């Protein structure tokens, strides 16, 4: 599908592949085993301008869109999804600032993110508010010179590692989620601390942590957009970012497919490589077909986002749902092709299988997103115009 890309997109993709193969491949198993945040790799990504990809040119970025970001995420995920999500979560943290932030806020924060000096994160989830984000309880009480935050966020990617956090909190609890607002909170703000660091099934190089706010005063100018826009900011963000989860899934599935083809060529049983068995050939053929279909859908959704179209929620959700289901199926089949060795940590498909599961869960579970897709279908008077 490369012939659709601009020269810049081709270069970005190629560079991301080189970084993944030269810098990430040698350390991925160790970081996964030790559940260690990839600080050195984040520095490499900063030094090679990878964080500039999703930042507008006016703020020292390369001005790339959703597709550019997807290309990087896909290439990194092909080698390690835990590292890819640590990178992608930075984009998640700053897209609200790019889309809704004041000029002052953009100038204050975006250049440091573009250079890789500061990492970012996005926080909406709470212990009692997962799929139902309308149930958030964290408050941001307006005071003379800003807002005082109280509450706990759960499962936040890059928690404890990022310098900047986009946090959704209620400025007017009486209005429920319509009274929510979005803020940028800096790591060293008094009253902001980090709680439990999660021990995970997969993407173990990524940090997933609680954020705790206790009378944490955030300056007035750090509000993103206006009071009451927190829910809109969140929904717009996910509509724009879900193709990126699809890209994680495509990259993972591609990695598992390549490993499976290589292994099937080498593994001899009954005197021949197992690739000569039709049962194995058909599994590989289905895996390859599904990966290509998922990739096509993810790129199409990313292009729709980049076109500036208003109604991208349905397509974006479809790309995430389909690609993540493909990643789970393809990584499961990869283990089957490796047989007993696929179950062992010495081979990469075991990690890919563990990493794939989260793509069906975060940024809207696949059940919740199927609800959203069905909602879009019900709204349409005529279909497929
Ligand atoms: C590793 C990891 C990283 C994460 N990173 C972030 C982050 O950076 N920032 C952030 O804010 N959040 C983050 N999350 C939170 C993530 O988005 C939520 O876990 C996810 O939205 C699901 O919420 P939940 O875990 O509370 O599950 P629940 O909402 O409790 O869902 C439990 C089950 O019920 C089903 N269910 C719930 N409601 C419905 C419904 N209406 N229809 C059908 N089925 C339904 C779900 O599909 C699921 O199977 C992360 C989570 C994980 C595990």
Which of 27, 368, 23, 361 has the alpha carbon at shortest distance from 198?
A: 361
**Cα–Cα distance measured from residue 278 to residue 185, given in angstroms and rounded to the nearest whole number:** 56
Residue of the CA atom closest to atom 6 of ligand 1: 156
Question: Does 129 contact ligand 1 (Cβ within 6 A)?
Answer: no
Question: Does 365 contact ligand 1 (Cβ within 6 A)?
Answer: yes
Residue of the CA atom closest to atom 39 of ligand 1: 368
Contacts of 116 (CB under 8 A, 6+ apart): 42, 43, 45, 46, 47, 50, 51
Which tokens hold the place of 277? Answer: 């068995």
At 160, is the secondary structure helix, strand, or coil? coil
**From the candidates 74, 75, 126, 363, which is the catalytic residue?**
363
Which tokens hold the place of 96? Answer: 């609200």
Question: Does 152 contact ligand 1 (Cβ within 6 A)?
Answer: no
Claim: this prediction has a pTM higher than 0.85: yes
Best residue among 89, 93, 123, 125 to mutate for probing ligand 1, ranked by most atoms within 8 Å of CB: 125
pLDDT digits (tens, 9 = 90+) for 324-343: 999 999 999 999 999 999 99
pLDDT at 144 over 90: no
The whole-number average pLDDT for the span 44-58 is 98
Best residue among 88, 155, 328 to mutate for probing ligand 1, ranked by most atoms within 8 Å of CB: 155
**pLDDT over 70, % of the chain:** 99
Q: Ligand 1 centroid vs 130 CA: distance in angstroms?
A: 5
Residue of the CA atom closest to atom 17 of ligand 1: 362
Atom of ligand 1 nearest to the CA of 365: 47
Question: Does 367 contact ligand 1 (Cβ within 6 A)?
Answer: yes
**How many helical (H) and strand (E) elements, i.e. helices and strands, does the chain have?**
11, 10
Query: Would you state the pLDDT for residue 258?
Result: 98
Q: Is 363 a catalytic residue?
A: yes
Residue of the CA atom closest to atom 26 of ligand 1: 130
Q: Ligand 1 centroid vs 368 CA: distance in angstroms?
A: 9
Q: Ligand 1 centroid vs 345 CA: distance in angstroms?
A: 27
Atom of ligand 1 nearest to the CA of 203: 1
Which tokens hold the place of 272? Answer: 């021949």
Question: Does 289 contact ligand 1 (Cβ within 6 A)?
Answer: no
Atom of ligand 1 nearest to the CA of 363: 17
Instruction: Please provide the average confidence, as pLDDT, over all residues in the chain.
Output: 97
Question: Does 131 contact ligand 1 (Cβ within 6 A)?
Answer: yes
Best residue among 96, 157, 362 to mutate for probing ligand 1, ranked by most atoms within 8 Å of CB: 362
For residues 348, 349, 352 and 354, what is the CA-based torsion angle, rounded to 10 degrees? -110
Query: Would you state the pLDDT for residue 135?
Result: 98
**Buried/exposed code over 255-267 (b: 16+ C-beta within 10 A; e: otherwise):** bbbebbbebbeeb
Q: How sure is the predictor about 310, in pLDDT bands with cuts at 50, 70 and 90?
A: confident
pLDDT digits (tens, 9 = 90+) for 245-281: 999 999 999 999 999 999 999 999 999 999 999 999 9
Residue of the CA atom closest to atom 25 of ligand 1: 130
CA geometry: angle 332, 338, 342, nearest 5 deg? 70
pLDDT digits (tens, 9 = 90+) for 88-134: 999 999 999 999 999 999 999 999 999 999 999 999 999 999 999 99
207 CA to centre of own chain: 13
Q: Would you tell me how many other CB atoms lie within 10 Å of the CB of residue 178?
A: 14
pLDDT digits (tens, 9 = 90+) for 283-307: 999 999 999 999 999 999 999 999 9
pLDDT digits (tens, 9 = 90+) for 338-378: 999 999 999 999 999 999 999 999 999 999 999 999 998 98
pLDDT at 1 over 90: no
- DSSP letter assigned to residue 24: I
Q: Ligand 1 centroid vs 361 CA: distance in angstroms?
A: 6
């Amino acid at each position: 599908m490369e012939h659709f890309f601009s020269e810049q997109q081709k270069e970005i993709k190629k560079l991301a592949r080189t970084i993944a193969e030269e810098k990430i491949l040698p350390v991925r198993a160790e970081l996964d085993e030790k559940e260690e945040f990839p600080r050195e790799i984040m520095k490499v990504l900063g030094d090679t301008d990878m964080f500039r990809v999703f930042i507008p040119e006016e703020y020292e970025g390369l001005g790339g869109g959703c597709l550019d970001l997807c290309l990087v995420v896909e290439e990194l995920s092909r080698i390690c999804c835990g590292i890819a999500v640590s990178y992608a979560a930075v984009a998640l943290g700053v897209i609200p600032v790019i889309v809704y932030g004041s000029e002052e806020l953009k100038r204050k924060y975006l250049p440091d993110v573009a250079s890789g000096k500061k990492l970012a994160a996005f926080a909406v989830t709470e212990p009692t508010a997962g799929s139902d984000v309308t149930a958030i309880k964290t408050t941001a009480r307006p005071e003379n010179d800003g807002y005082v935050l109280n509450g706990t966020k759960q499962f936040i990617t890059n928690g404890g590692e990022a310098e900047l956090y986009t946090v959704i909190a209620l400025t007017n609890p009486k209005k429920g989620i319509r009274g929510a607002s979005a803020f940028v909170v800096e790591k060293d703000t008094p009253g902001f601390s980090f709680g439990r660091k999660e021990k995970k099934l997969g993407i173990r190089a990524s940090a997933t942590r609680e954020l705790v706010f206790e009378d944490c005063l955030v300056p007035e100018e750090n509000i993103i957009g206006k009071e009451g826009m927190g829910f809109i900011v969140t929904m717009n963000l996910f509509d724009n970012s879900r193709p990126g989860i699809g890209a994680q899934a495509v990259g993972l599935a591609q990695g598992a497919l390549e490993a499976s083809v290589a292994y099937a060529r080498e593994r001899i049983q009954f005197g021949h490589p197992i690739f000569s068995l039709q049962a194995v050939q058909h599994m590989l053929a289905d895996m390859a077909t599904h990966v290509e279909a998922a990739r096509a859908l993810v790129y199409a959704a990313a292009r729709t986002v980049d076109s500036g179209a208003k109604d991208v929620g349905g397509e974006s959700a479809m790309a995430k749902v389909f690609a993540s289901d493909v990643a789970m199926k393809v990584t499961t089949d990869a283990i089957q092709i490796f047989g007993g060795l696929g179950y062992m940590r010495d081979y990469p498909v075991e990690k890919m299988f563990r990493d794939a599961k989260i793509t069906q869960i975060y940024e809207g579970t696949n059940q919740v997103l199927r609800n959203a897709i069905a909602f879009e279908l019900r709204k349409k008077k005529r279909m497929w115009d």
